[in-house]
Each structure stands twice: as structure tokens, then as C-alpha cells.
Structure 1
Amino acid sequence: MPLLQFDTTLDLSADEKRAFTDAVTEFYTDEMATTAGHVACVVREHEASNLALGRAVDGPLLFLNADVREGRPFERKRAFALATMDYAHAEFGVPEPNLKVVFSEHEGQDMMGVDRVGGDWAAAE
């Protein structure tokens, strides 16, 4: 039941946002070995003065805070992060130094919807 929250200085159209969240959801399901039905994405756009990154170069910024269930190996998280950053770089021209991903891990029971409460992650999921 991940919550993938993007903060960016990009100015995206509704179609670009939908294509982005669809792509990110696909990356998540592929790399994190899960299904798409519970992947939640948020895209928040900001004025350039609202975001900063010490290593940034000229160009838009894009940060991902990925709240995920604990238990996945580093390699899965890294593959997802790289796929997401590669997409933002290729599709929107976000310079690589201006991309950042932070994972926050939560116990399965801390992630819930109306119809379910998450459990522990296992490789078969």
C-alpha cells in the first residue's frame, strides 16, 4: 500500500501527470513485485522558490518521498528509484542532479485502506 508523493517545480499538464503516475505505478509493480490496485501517487507542483537541493543545477527539481511497506531488499528499491528518475529525466528534462528519492518504511499494519490492512511483505507478493 505505498504512497508515492512527488514534489516538483515542473509545470505538468493533466495528461502529463496521468502518464507520469501511470508509468510510476508500472515501475513500482514491476520492481517491487506487487500489484497496482493499492499504489497511490500524489503530484504536487511548486514555484521554484519553494524547493531547494544543494547539489541542484539549473532546471526543474523533482523529489519523491516513497512511503512503502518494510521488508523489500535494497536492490528492489534502488531499481524502482532509478526507473522513476530515468523517466523524469527522459520525459521532462529534469537534470539528474535535481532528482531525489527518499524511502520511508512502515510496518504492513500501518498501511491501510477501507477494505484492508497491509501485512508483512513476502517475495511472493
Structure 2
Amino acid sequence: MPLLQFETTVELSADEKRTFADAVRDLYGEIMQTGTSHAAVVVRPRSPGELSIGRGVPDEDYLFLDAEIRRGRSSETKRELALALMDLAAEEFEIPTPNMKVVFTEHEGANMMGYDRVGAEWDPSEGSE
């Protein structure tokens, strides 16, 4: 039951945010080997100057991702997802790669809840939902 929270200086319409969220969910499901009906995506617009990173390209857009996920995936799998999502943002929005950052926070499955469910620990055999 991931919560993928993007902060970006890219100006996006509601339709562009929905399209991006759909692409994020698809990549998440594919790389993390799970279904996507439970994947929550947030895209928060930020004004220029609200986001920065020391090595960033000045006067260009930024995108940061706080990825709250169930524990259990390997570092290699998380890296694959981070790179895929940054590649998506670079291609779609022309964000320079030095201006992006991904941070994973892992939780026990039971600490991730929806109204109708409590998450379980991730098991590679679960496949897609």
C-alpha cells in the first residue's frame, strides 16, 4: 500500500498529473511485482525556490519523491524503481537529473492501511493483485 509523494516545480494541469500518476503506478506495479489498485500517488506543485538541492542545475525544474513503501524489497529493486521514475520525469518534463531525488521509507505492512484493508508483509509470491 505505497504512498508516493512527489514535490515538483513543474507546472502541471490536472490531466497531466493524472497521466503522470497512472504512469507511476504502472512502473511501480511492474518493478515492485505487485498490483496497483492500492498505490496512492500525490503530485504537489511547488513554486520556484521552494525546492533545491546542492548539486542542482539553477533555474531549472525540480522533482523530489518521498516513497513510503512496505518493507521487503531489495536495494537493487528500489534503485531500479527510483531510476525508472526519474527517467520518466526527465523524459516527460525535461527535469535535469541532478535536480531529482528519491527517498524510500519502509514500513511493516500492518502500518499501511486503507479504509477497507490493512497491509500485509510483502511476499514475492503474491504477484499482481
CA distance in 2, matches of 1:12, 1:64: 16
The match for 1:98 is 99
Equivalent in the alignment of 2:14: 14
Runs of 4+ in 1 over 6 A off after TM superposition: none
* Alignment partners' CA distance in 2, 1:95 and 1:49: 16
Identity of aligned residues (%): 55
2:113 aligned partner, one-letter code: M
Which SS does the other structure have where 1:22 is aligned?
helix
Q: Distance in 1 between matches of 2:109 and 2:56?
A: 34
Match of 2:49 in 1: 49
Select between 51-60 and 33-42 the one with higher mean Cα deviation: 51-60
1:28-107 pair list within 5 angstroms: 28-58=28-58, 59-107=60-108
Q: Deviations over 1:31-72 (max 9, x none)?
A: 000001100000000111211111100310000000000011
* Contact kept? 2:9, 2:46, Cα under 8 Å: yes
RMSD: 0.7
What is the CA-CA distance between 1:16 and the residue it aligns to? 1.3
| TM-score, structure 1 normalization | 0.97
Q: Figure out how many residues of one structure are paired with residues of the other and give that number.
A: 125
CA shift at 1:10, angstroms? 0.6
How many angstroms apart in 2 are the aligned matches of 1:82 and 1:89? 10
Compute the displacement of 1:75 (Å). Answer: 1.5
CA deviations on 1:66-90 (whole Å, 9 max, x unpaired) are 0000011112111111111001001
Aligned counterpart, 2:4 = 4
Aligned partners of 1:113 and 1:66: how far apart in 2? 17
Letter in 1 for 2:12: L
Q: In 2, Cα distance between the equivalents of 1:86 and 1:49?
A: 23
Q: Identify unmatched segments of 5+ residues in structure 1.
A: none
Paired residues of 2:63 and 2:101 also in contact (CA < 8 A)? yes
Structure 1 partner of 2:113? 112
